[in-house]
Chains A and B, each alone.
Chain A
Amino acid sequence: EIVLTQSPGTLSLSPGERATLSCRASQSVSNSYLAWYQQKPGQAPRLLIYASTGRATGIPDRFSGSRSGADFALTISRLEPEDFAIYFCQHYRSSPPVYTFGQGTKLEFK
């Protein structure tokens, strides 16, 4: 079973700064995919990135995903006030189906 470890647990930044969130898989994910979600208090998660680097419909281009082996990153190039939220990564595979989430990174105002 793949375990996803997100770091840092909390990231304190200011609007206009660049944010880099990390997600590390415990084993190879070569035949599966990684997604990133944003969740604000009291709301459902929102898909940001799919298949490691694909931007979901309607997501601003300041959000980008990257991959290096078992290490994945979500980068927000210039933080807007509405970007302060919790971010989850998710490993997903269709056969057999598995949709494992990381524990989340809280992006908070500095």
Chain B
Amino acid sequence: EVQLVQSGAEVKKPGESLKISCKTSGYTFTYNWIAWVRQMPGKGLEWMGIVHPDDSETRYSPSFQGQVTISADKSTNTAYLQWSSLKASDTATYFCARVVSGMDVWGQGTNVTVSS
């Protein structure tokens, strides 16, 4: 069974850094892109970017380019999303998803709250 399991909820202050994870299992990690998607409270879905775990190639949505860093570690079958300096507007739920004909399997989501 293909599974994507994300790290737990985070509460951070503005200006702090953060790295959240998405650990995969049940398939060959290096075969498929992994996407990250943001959902702000009560809002819709926004694609942030994708990473290919085989060579760590990344592509970002223009809206998120320079705002976050997406990476992958094929030794641990884990993808990451990180911020160097959080803002209150980064408060949201973040999902990872495997990219196969759309996004066929999703993580459970990580809630990130940024508040002073």
Contact = CB atoms under 8 A, between A and B. Distances in A.
Contacts of A44: 95, 97, 106-109
Nearest to B46: A101
A39 B105 CA distance: 13
Interface in A17-66: 33, 35, 37, 39, 44-47, 50-51, 54, 56-57
Given A99-B35, A104-B44, A47 B102 contact: yes
B91 to A, nearest CB: 16
A88 B101 contact: no
Nearest to A46: B106
Given A35-B101, A47-B103, A97-B50, A88 B45 contact: yes
Interface of A: 33, 35, 37, 39, 44-47, 50-51, 54, 56-57, 88, 90, 92, 96-104
